[in-house]
Amino acid sequence: MNQVTVGSYLSQRLEEVGIRDYFAIPGDFNLSLLDELLKNPRLKMINCCNELNAGYAADGYAREKGVAALVLTFGVGGLSAVNAVAGAFAEDLPVIVISGGPNVNSLMENRVLHHTLAQPEEGAKFVHSVYKEITAHAVVIREVSTAAFRIDEAIRIALSAQKPVYIEIACNLAGTLISKPNTLALAPTRQSDPSSLQKALKHVADFLNGARQPVLVAGSRLRAGDTRGAFKTLASKCGYGVACMPNAKSFFPETNPQFMGIYWGNASSPGCREVVESSDAYLFAGPIFSDYTTVGFSALIQPARLVEASPECILVEGQVYHGIVLSEFLTGLASKLNSNTTSLDAYLRIKEEARVAPPTASDELSLSTRRLFHHINESLDATSTVVAETGDSWFNGMDLHLPDGCKFEIQMQYGSIGWSVGAFLGLAAANPERRVIGLIGDGSFQMTAQEVSTFLRYNYSGVIFLMNNGAYTIEVMIHDGPYNTLQNWNYAAMVKSLKGQSPILSQAVRTEKELVSVLKKSKTFTGLTFIEVILDRTDCNKALLGWGTAVADYNAGKGNAAG
C-alpha cells in the first residue's frame, strides 16, 4: 500500500494540480504509461487525431483550467507537437508534455531504434534537445530512483513559470513501483521582496498621482497567476479609463462604465487610441509589445510616460524593480492612487453613440461579415467562450461587445493558423458547462479540420462559424498572391461525414435568412452546430486593411520602429 507505479504517481500529481482530462495519441513507447494513467478513474483520456491538434487542445484546456497535460509517444509524437507547445510557451500556458521514451536497456546496448535519427549514440537525445528550447524545463527519466522527484520538480516549474514542461519516461519504467506520493504543495508560493515592492509602489504611485490624465491598459500576461482580479480592483479604486490590448480582450468587463475599448494602434476601438496616446501617464499591466499588438510598432507609446508592470519586473521612468509578484503590486497600488477620472471623462466626450446594428439588407441577398457578426454578438451570454482564429476573425472579434461573464480567447503572440480548432476542443473539455463559439477561417480550418471528429466523439456542445471566402484573408491584406487562394471544400458536408453516431447540426448559409434560421435551431440543439458562412473574398473588417498595410510595411523594412 506504500508503493505505486511511476505512471500512477504521475496520474495522482496531475489530479492534484486540477487536471481532469489529458489529451493523448498512443504509440508503442507510451502504451504502458497510458495503461497506468487509465487506472485513475478521476482522469479522462481524450484521444485526438494527431499530436499537433492534441497540443492545441491542451493549450485551450490550460486557458480555462490553468494547467493541462499532453501525452505523446517518443520522437515522431514529440516532434509533431512542437509547434503547439511553442505556442503555449509564447502564450504563458503551463502544458505538461509527457512522453513515453525508449527502453533503458536498448539505450545502454547502443542499439538503433525506430522513431530516431538512426544514430545510436545520439539518436535518443534529439527530442529532449528540441524541447529544452521551447519549455521551461525538460527532463528524461531513466532511473526509477529519481522518478518521483523529477516529476514533482517539472510540475512545480510549469506552475511557477506558467510555461510548458517536458517529461520523458522510459517505457519500461512506467509500471515500476516507487514510493507513493507524499503531501506536497506543487502550486507556486512566490512572494514579493518587501523592500523592492514598497519602493516600486511609492515610485509608481507618485508618478501616476502626479499625472493629469492617467489611464490603465490590460495586457495578456495578466493571465499568469490569475492577476485579472487584482487589476479590476485597482481600476475600481483609481477611477481611470481602462482599455484592453487585443490579446487581453475580456480580461476587464466590457460592460464596466470605465471600459474604453481595445487599444490596438490604428486598429483600436473608436476614441480609445486618442485617449490612451494623449495621456501623460499610462500603466500597462502584463503587456506584450510585439509587432502584431502594436500594428508594426506604430503605436505611439512614449517610454517617459509608461509604467510597464509585468510578472518579471516593474519599469517606471527608467527604473526597474525586480522580485515583485504582479498581483501583489497591483493590489498594493490600489490603496495608494488618488481617484482621477480625467481620462475617462475625455473618452466619454468623444465616445461614439451606442453601437447600432448594421443596416439590414434583403434577407435573400448575400450575407455580409458585418451582419454575420451582429447576429453572433446577439447570441452571446455569460456562459459563452469565444475562440477567434488568426485572421479576419481577430478584427471582427474585437468589435464584439461582450456581456458580463463572456470570455474571449485568441492566440495573438504566436499566431499559428489552425490553432483554434484544437483550442475549441480543449476549452469545451475543460468546462462543458460553457458554450464555446469558434470563429474560424477556411484556410485555418483546412490545417486542423479532423479534430472536429474528436469534439463529436466526446459529445461536447458548441458552435463553429466557418468563414468560407476561399482565401487566407489576413495574408491577402498583408501581401496578396496566388498562394493565398484555397481549394474550396464543401465544409458543411465534410463535417457531417465525421459525426459517426454523434449529433450534429451542419449547414451552409449564404443569406441572412438562412443564418437566422440555423441560429434559432442551434439554441436548443445539444451537440456541435457547424455553420459554413459563404462570404466574398474581399469582405473583411475595415481595421484589417490598415493593420495589414502597417505590418507589411514593417516586414519590408518601412515601418516605424518606435514604441
**Phi, psi (5° rounding) for residue 255?**
-90, -5
Return d(Cα 546, Cα 550) in angstroms, integer. Answer: 6
Return d(Cα 137, Cα 101) in angstroms, integer. Answer: 17
> Is pLDDT at 123 greater than 90 in this prediction?
no
Q: What is the pLDDT of residues 41-92, one digit of tens each?
A: 999 999 999 999 999 999 999 999 999 999 999 999 999 999 999 999 999 9
Residue 58: C-alpha distances to residues 331, 350, 402 (Å)? 31, 42, 25
Q: How confident is the model at residue 224 (pLDDT cuts 50, 70, 90)?
A: confident
Q: How confident is the model at residue 500 (pLDDT cuts 50, 70, 90)?
A: confident
Q: How confident is the model at residue 236 (pLDDT cuts 50, 70, 90)?
A: very high
Q: What is the dotted CATH code of the domain comprising 194-350?
A: 3.40.50.1220
The pTM assigned to this predicted structure is 0.92
Cell triple for 284: 500597462
Return d(Cα 431, Cα 523) in angstroms, integer. Answer: 19
Mean local confidence (pLDDT), 140-161:
95
More confident residue, 316 or 183: 316
Return d(Cα 392, Cα 397) in angstroms, integer. Answer: 8
Least confident of 129-138, 225-234, 359-368, 482-491: 359-368
Cell triple for 265: 494602434
What's the CATH number of domain 3-179, 3.40.50.970, 3.40.980.10, 3.30.1490.20, 3.40.630.10?
Answer: 3.40.50.970
153: Cα separation from own chain's centroid: 25
Cell triple for 432: 462543458
Do the domains 194-350 and 3-179 match in fold? yes
Percent of the chain's residues with pLDDT above 90: 77
Q: How confident is the model at residue 114 (pLDDT cuts 50, 70, 90)?
A: confident
What are the boundaries of each domain within the chain?
3-179, 194-350, 369-548
Q: Is residue 387 within 8 Å of 365, Cβ to Cβ?
A: no
> Is pLDDT at 372 greater than 80 in this prediction?
yes
Q: What is the pLDDT of residues 333-364, one digit of tens each?
A: 999 999 999 999 999 999 876 555 666 666 66
As a whole number of angstroms, the longest Cα–Cα distance in the chain is 76
Q: What is the pLDDT of residue 389?
A: 96
Residue 526 CB coordination number (10 Å):
9
Query: Containing H/E element for 167?
Result: strand 165-170
Q: What is the pLDDT of residues 413-444, one digit of tens each?
A: 999 999 999 999 999 999 999 999 999 999 89
Q: What is the pLDDT of residue 471?
A: 59
Q: What is the pLDDT of residue 376?
A: 96
Return d(Cα 119, Cα 75) in angstroms, integer. Answer: 13
Q: How confident is the model at residue 164 (pLDDT cuts 50, 70, 90)?
A: very high
Q: How confident is the model at residue 560 (pLDDT cuts 50, 70, 90)?
A: very low
Return d(Cα 282, Cα 257) in angstroms, integer. Answer: 19
Q: What is the pLDDT of residue 485?
A: 73
Q: What is the pLDDT of residue 480?
A: 65
The contacts of residue 217 (CB under 8 Å, 6+ apart) are 242, 243, 244, 245, 263, 276, 282, 283, 284, 285, 287
Q: How confident is the model at residue 543 (pLDDT cuts 50, 70, 90)?
A: low
Strand bridging mode 137-141 / 165-170 = parallel
Least confident of 278-287, 363-372, 478-487, 528-537: 478-487
Least confident of 113-117, 232-236, 477-481, 509-513: 477-481
Q: How confident is the model at residue 561 (pLDDT cuts 50, 70, 90)?
A: very low
CATH class for the region spanning 369-548: alpha beta
Q: How confident is the model at residue 562 (pLDDT cuts 50, 70, 90)?
A: very low
Average pLDDT score over the chain:
90
Q: What is the pLDDT of residue 48?
A: 97
Q: How confident is the model at residue 298 (pLDDT cuts 50, 70, 90)?
A: confident
